Amino acid sequence: MTARTTAAPRIGILGGGIGGLAAAAFLRREGLGVTVYEQASEISEVGAGLVVAPNAARLLRRLGVLDEFRERAVVLETGWEFRRWEDGAVLSAEDLASSCERLYGEKTYTAHRADLLAALHTQVPAESVELGRKCVDVTRSGDVFQLRFADGRSAEADVVIGADGVHSVVRNTLFGVSPATYSGICAFRALVPEARAPEFARRPVQSLWIGPGHHLVHYPVSGGEYINLVAFAPAGDYTVESWTATATVEEFLAEFEGWDPRLTDLIRAAGTPGRWALLDRAPLTRWSDGGATLLGDAAHPMFPFFAQGAAQAIEDAAVLARCLAEGADDQAAALRRYEGIRIPRTTRLQNVSHGRAHINHLPDGPEQQARDELYAREDPLVVNGWIYGYDTDAVLQEAVAAQ
């Protein structure tokens, strides 16, 4: 905890999802008071599963919530298990059980998003969260921000953190509406009860089936009670960017017609799938303006092909909290330091995630064969070490030394 010589700023966090609650938890850990404004009537998480890699697990341990999180999480024994679309032949697989902790000091987990959110919520008291507060406008008078909500109420803050997702009101206020381009890809997601899932899908494994124009990922969540599916396919004219939009199982199955019957049996066992379009946004070069800044998807929405969206929001939260704690005398400078540290990393991840779609969706042929041979040779844990080995304390120390 960092000692301060000035009055603590009033910090308002817009958004009570993973990024917003992580920011609140890390700021409280630094001795800073916060208020989280969440538009929903309760703290809950839409969506389904996620991967918590070592870079995120390390920060959950620092917050003191890793043990609680692990009560419902699944420890992955194998990851990056690439399978061929038509027959399920394994192209490559990584032994996470023996390598992950040795290389990066933490295991890799899969979990339902709600379980991660619940663990983070334990570090944010109820009186610090105001529910049913949908922000519709952010204005500034001098150094003070006025937050106006849909119910007619308002609040003031010295520091505003926009953790309000891809359609961020804070981002639109600071920098204008971010133009989105059509990616041509949509995603399906679904949960399959463990009792209805084929045995191969129940293993503590992150499997990626890759084929022409499509790929599908599955892994167990919720202590193994469910199998999470997330799949990517051509979007056609579908452009709805919403986690609450749905499709039918028949529409989901149609995208994977002709694939290994074991995979289509898994899809057939799913409940009503969600469906959303992946819209593309160029990385921002600025996140902050005076005492306001962005975090998570509001700052750097990225394609989910490296399973790092939640992890990057948690990293943002840790760095932001330390910058604000150490720079309480000049909050605008603290936020500039925060974005200066984080933007290069998240921009790189946005770019590599974007490129992965083409690689995973190659049609059968020479380029696909070369890719499969590369997957058989490379070690994703080593290749992606720049992702998993990231340590916020070391990064902050380097930033201070460079000043």
| Residues designated as active site | 219
Using alpha carbons, select from 48, 15, 25, 107 the residue that is nearest to residue 304: 48
Element holding 173 (H helix, E strand) = helix 169-175
Cβ(108)–Cβ(57) under 8 Å? yes
Distance between CA atoms of 167 and 396, rounded to whole angstroms?
Answer: 29
Query: Would you state the structure tokens that stand for residue 362, as one six-digit string?
Result: 């190659």
Residue type, 151: D
Residue type, 11: I
Query: Tokens 């663990």, residue?
Result: 119
204 SS3 class:
coil
Cβ(109)–Cβ(76) under 8 Å? yes
Cβ(269)–Cβ(197) under 8 Å? yes
Cβ(206)–Cβ(110) under 8 Å? yes
Using alpha carbons, select from 22, 12, 14 the residue that is nearest to residue 311: 22
Alpha helices, DSSP H, located in 30-112: 54-63, 66-70, 96-104
Distance between CA atoms of 41 and 139, rounded to whole angstroms?
Answer: 24
Sign of CA dihedral 63, 64, 66, 71: negative
At residue 301, φ and ψ (nearest 5 deg) are -60, 130
**Sheet with 274-280, edge to edge strand ranges:** 90-95, 78-84, 205-211, 214-221, 226-234, 181-193, 274-280
Crossing angle between the packed helical segments 309-326 and 18-29, to the nearest 10 degrees: 30
